[in-house]
Amino acid sequence: MSNKAYLNQAIVSHLIEMKAEEKPDREILVFENGDNAADVLTYRSLYENSNKIARLLLESGLEKGDTYAVFMRNHAEFAYCMLAGPVIGVVMVPIDPRSRGSRLRFLLSHAKAKAVFVSGELLPQLEEVLNQVPGVKNVFVVWRPEQDLPVSDAYPTVNETLGKDNWEPVDQQIMEVRHPMQIIYTSGTTGDPKGVMIRNNRFGMFNIVTKLVWKYKPSDVLYTGLSLTHGNAQAVTLFPAIGSGIKAVFSSRFTKSRIWDICRNYGCTSFSLLGGMMAGIFNEPVKENDGDNPVKTVISAGTPAAIWQDFESRFQVKILEWYGAVEGGFAYKPPNVGPVGSFGKPIPGMMQFKVVDDDDREVAAGQPGELICRMMKGDTKVDYLDNAQASEEKTRGGWLRTGDIVSKDEKGWFFFKHRKGSELRRAGDFIQPDHIERVIGEHPDVSEVCVYGVPAASGAPGESDLVAALAPFDNAVIDPGVIFDKCRQDLEPNFVPTYLQLVDVIPKTISEKALDRVLKEQFSPEAENVYTQS
C-alpha cells in the first residue's frame, strides 16, 4: 500500500486506501453485538479486509461488470464485502435479509449474481432457492460467533479469507467515477422490484449532503439499526462516517427497546430511522430516563405529524426530517425550521421541485399533486437494470416522476400525503392513518399499528372501510373490545376502524414501510383474526 497519485477520494475504495495510510488506526465503524464483544473497524482493517475479499472475487472468476450479492444483516463482514466491489469493478447487490422464496430467487436471477456472500443464519433461506438460480457459481458463508450455529463445511467461508495474514494485495482497478458500484432494488410494493444502478459518484454526493445537510461534527457518534442493504443507512450513516472520519455504530437489526441504551453506551449523538420506526419507539412504555440520553438529532424520513412534537419533548431531541428515494429526489427540513409535518425543501441550486396534476400542470399552493423533480445541472436520469422503458418513463420530459402525492404551502414547504393511488377516503373525509395509529399505539399491549383501507362494503366509489392491523407488545394478548373502546373515546367517529386485524408482526419492506399489500392479501372480514365493533 502506498499513497499513489492516481487515487481519487471521490471513489470510496480509493479513499479507504488513502486513509489507511494516513490514519490507519482511526476507529470508524462499530458493529455492536448485544452482550457480545463489538467489532471495531479501523481504516486499516477496512482496507485490508475489503482487499482480501476483492482478491477472493478475482480468484473466483468474477470480472469487471459482473455482479455479486451480499445477503446478511449488519455485520463487520457486510462492510468488507460491500467495499470490495469498487476495488475491481464488480457490482454489489445488497439483499434485504428478510428476503426468501420467490423474492430472493427473483433478486438473484434478475441481477445475474455470480457469487453470494451469506451469513450462517440466512443460509437455509438461500439454499431454498439456490438450485433455481443457476447463474450463482460461488457461495461464501460468514459464521458469526454470537449466533452459536453449527458450522457447515459445505461452502468456503469468508472467515478463512479474512483470517489470512498474507495475501496478494489488489491494486485499484477502477478510475471511472461513473462505473457502477451497486444495484439497489426498490421495495416492490406494487410489483416486481426494479434494480437501480448506483455509480461510484454517488459516494461524492453523499459527502456533499453530509456537509450541507447532516452537518455532522468531528465529535459526533452516529447510530443506526437500519439495514445496510437500504439506501438510508448508507446515505445517512455508513458513507458519511467513512468519508468524514466520524465514528458510526450499527446494530444487526433495528431495536426499538434497546435503542436508547445503545446510544447511551456508545455516546451516540445522532441516529437515523424511518417514520414508522418512530411510532414503534414512541409506543414503548414511558420511562423516567427517556430524556436522559446523549442524542441531539434524530434524522428521520416520514415522521408522523401526530407524534412529532411529543417525540422531541419526551426524548429531548430535535428532528431533522428529510425526503429521498434511491432513484433520486432530495429535500430536508432542519431542526426548528419550518412547519411540523413538512419534509422540507430541496437544496437551493441543486434540484427543482414541482407539484403537478395528471396533465403536468403545476397545482396551486395547498393542493395535492404528484411531486416531480429535476437536477439544476446535468441530466436527470434513472438507470433501471435491463428496463430501458421504465427508465425513460420515470424521467419523462426530463423530470423524475416520484409517484408521491404531496402539497406545497405558500412559503415553499412540502408535505407528503400518500403514494399515488393509495389514498384513503371515508364518507367524504380523507383519512390520515398516522393519527389513528398513534391513538391505538398508545395502548400498552400494542407494539405496532398499520392502518389501511379495503373497498367499502357500501360499494361507494373511491370509499374505504378502515382496517387497523395490530401486533402485540412482547407476549401481550390484545383485547379487540378494549381497542375499539379506546378508538371511540379518542377518535372522531369517522376515524374509528371498521376492522381490527390481529397479527404476530407487521410485514415491512426493506425501508421499514408497512406492507399493507400483504396485510390486504391476508385480510378477510370472516377471518379468525379479524374483529368488528360489537
The predicted model scores a pTM of 0.83
Cα gap 497→109, rounded to integer Å = 41
- Interhelix angle 12-22/76-88, rounded to 10 degrees, is 110
Beta strands 247-250 and 221-224 are: parallel
For cell 429526489, the residue is 329
Architecture label for domain 425-532: 2-Layer Sandwich (3.30)
Beta strands 429-430 and 499-502 are: unpaired
Burial of 478 (0-12, 13-18, 19+ CB in 10 A): buried
For cell 445503545, the residue is 262
CATH of 42-199, one of 3.40.50.12780, 3.40.50.970, 1.10.10.10, 1.10.1060.10: 3.40.50.12780
Long-range contact pairs involving 303-306 (C-beta distance under 8 Å, separation at least 24): 303/275, 303/278, 304/275, 304/278, 304/279, 304/434, 304/435, 304/437, 304/438, 305/340, 305/341, 305/432, 305/434, 306/432, 306/434, 306/435, 306/437, 306/438
Which backbone phi and psi does 237 adopt, to 5 degrees? -125, -60
What is the dotted CATH code of the domain comprising 338-380+387-421? 2.30.38.10
**Domains in the chain: boundaries:** 42-199, 338-380+387-421, 425-532
Eight-class DSSP state of 328 = S
Sign (positive/negative) of CA torsion 194, 50, 15, 224?
positive
Note down pLDDT in tens along the chain; length 534 residues: 445 778 999 999 999 999 999 999 999 999 999 888 899 999 999 999 999 999 999 999 999 999 999 999 999 999 999 999 999 999 999 999 988 888 899 999 999 999 999 999 999 999 999 999 999 999 999 999 988 888 888 999 999 999 999 999 999 999 999 999 999 998 765 557 899 999 999 999 999 999 999 999 999 999 999 999 988 999 999 999 999 999 999 999 999 999 999 999 999 999 998 877 888 899 899 999 999 999 999 999 988 888 999 999 999 999 999 999 889 899 999 999 999 999 999 999 999 999 999 999 999 999 999 999 999 988 899 999 999 999 999 999 999 999 889 999 999 999 988 777 666 777 656 677 888 998 899 999 999 999 999 988 866 666 788 999 999 998 899 999 999 999 988 887 888 999 999 999 999 876 677 888 899 999 999 999 999 987
Cα gap 64→448, rounded to integer Å = 44
- Asked whether this chain's domains 42-199 and 425-532 adopt the same fold, the reply is no
For cell 445475474, the residue is 112
Decide if 302 contacts 274 (C-beta within 8 A).
yes
